[in-house]
Homo-oligomer: A and B are copies of this chain.
Amino acid sequence: MIVNYIFSDKVSSLKASAIREILKFTSDPDVISFAAGNPAPEAFPTDKIAEISADLLKNDPILALQYSVTEGYSPLRDELKKLMSEKKCFNSDIDDLIITSGAQQANELSCKVLLNEGDTMICEAPSFIGSLNAFRSYNVNLVGVELENDGINLEKLEEVLKSDKKVKILYLIPNFQNPTGLTMSWEKRKAVYELAKKYDFIILEDNPYGDLRFDGEEIPSIKSLDTEGRVIYSGTFSKILSPGFRTGYVSAPKEIIQKIVVCKQVSDVHSNIWAQVVCHRFITQVDMKKHFDFLRSVYKRKCGLMISKIEECFSDKISFTRPQGGLFIWCTLPENSDMQAFCKKAVSEYKIAVVPGNAFNISENDVTTSFRLNFSTPTDEQLVQGTEILGKLTKEMFK
C-alpha cells in the first residue's frame, strides 16, 4: 500500500511549466523548435572557457572544488559591484551584491524574503512563466497589469495600487521582455519609480537580456533611479556566457541582501564555485566590449532573419513585435481566433513548435491570441525554413 501524499498548499496546485509540454514535441528531430529560450549556442566562447577552466583546475583546484561562502566568490562580487556601479545599478552607500544560482534564484528568493502568503505581487501581463511559478510557489496573490508597447499601463497599475493595500512587489522585465520582446520607455521607468515611492512598494527589476541590445539606444535601468532602496536588480551570465553555469547575481539594499543570503544558505549553501571563478576570469581577461559586439551581431542577424521572413510569409492579419534585443518575438493572431488550435496544428501537422501565449498569463482567466517565437536557438536555416512553413499555416487559417 502506497501512502496518499498530502502536499503543502503552496505547491499542491503548482504545475510544471506549460512550455515543457511543448518541448516534448521538440525531441522529434523533424520538428523545428521556436519554443526554446536558450541563448545562441554558436555564441558561447567555448575555447576561452576551456582555457580558463584548465588553468583553474591545474593551478587552483581547491578553490574550484571546496566549499565556498554563500555570498559568492569575492573577486567576482567586487568586479560586478564595479561594473554595476558604472551602470548605476549598484550604490555602495545602500546596496550590496551577491551571486545567485541564476537570476531565477534571485527572483525566487526576493519573493520568499519579502512576501507572506496572500500578499500581492504585480506583474506585467503577460510575463515570464519561470518567475510567475516561483511567486506562485509561495502562495502569493499575483495581479497582472496590461503590458503596452512602451511598458506597463500606468493608469491600470495605479488603479490596482489604489484598491489593493497588500501590494509589496512590482515585478518587471524592462528590456526585451520575456515573452513579448518589448522594452519599457524611460518615461515609464521614471513614472513607475514615482509610484513606488507614492504607494510604498518594492520593484523587482529583472534584466537577463539587457546586454543583448542590438538596435536603438540603451535606456537606463529603474535601479539607476533608486535613492530610497526600493529596487532589487537581478542579472545573469546565462545569456552572455553560459546558462549551464547557473550563475546570476542580485544587487539590492543591504538589509534585503542579508535576508537573501540567509535564504540562499538554506537553499543551496552557495552556487557552483568553479563557474563563479570562470565568470570572474572571463570578464576580467576578455575585452568585454568586443565580446558584447560579437553577441549582438549574432542576435541582430538571427532576429532580422526571422522578422524578414515573417514580413514575407505571414498572413497580414498577424501582428508581431520588433524587438531591439533579447531572444523573443511576440505574434498575435486576430481577435477571437483559436490560438491554442493554431499552436497545436503548427507542431503536430507542420512540425513547428511555438509557445502558446497563455503559458505567460498571470491568471487562468486571461484570454490571449498571442504566441512566442524564439530566434536565438534555431540555426539560420531553421529560422528561414520554419518561418516560411509557419507563414503558410497563418495564411491558411487567417486569409
A residues lining the B interface (CB < 8 Å): 1-3, 5-11, 14-17, 36-39, 41, 44, 46, 49-50, 53-54, 57-58, 61-62, 64-68, 94, 101-102, 104-105, 108, 112-117, 119, 130, 133-134, 136-137, 168, 200, 202, 228-230, 238, 242-246, 253, 255-256, 258-259, 261-263, 265-275
A269 and B245 CA atoms in complex are apart in Å by 11
Q: What residue of chain B has the Cβ atom nearest to residue A107's Cβ? A: B266
Which of B61, B94, B114, B130 contacts A7, CB < 8 Å? Answer: B114
Please tell me how many copies of the chain the complex holds.
Answer: 2
Q: What residue of chain B has the Cβ atom nearest to residue A67's Cβ? A: B243
Complex contact A270–B253 (CB within 8 A): no
Known contacts A3-B253, A112-B10; is-contact A268 B104 (Cβ 8 Å)? yes
Complex contact B46–A50 (CB within 8 A): no
A115 and B11 CA atoms in complex are apart in Å by 10
Which of B10, B104, B243, B268 contacts A102, CB < 8 Å? Answer: B268
Complex contact B3–A244 (CB within 8 A): no
Complex contact B9–A116 (CB within 8 A): yes
Q: What residue of chain B has the Cβ atom nearest to residue A255's Cβ? A: B5
Complex contact B253–A269 (CB within 8 A): no
Complex contact A246–B271 (CB within 8 A): yes
A37 to B: closest C-beta gap in Å: 8
Complex contact A270–B245 (CB within 8 A): no
Residues of B within 8 Å of A15, CB to CB, are 262
Q: What residue of chain B has the Cβ atom nearest to residue A227's Cβ? A: B1
Residues of B within 8 Å of A113, CB to CB, are 7-8, 11
Complex contact A7–B53 (CB within 8 A): no
Known contacts A113-B8, A274-B245; is-contact A265 B62 (Cβ 8 Å)? no
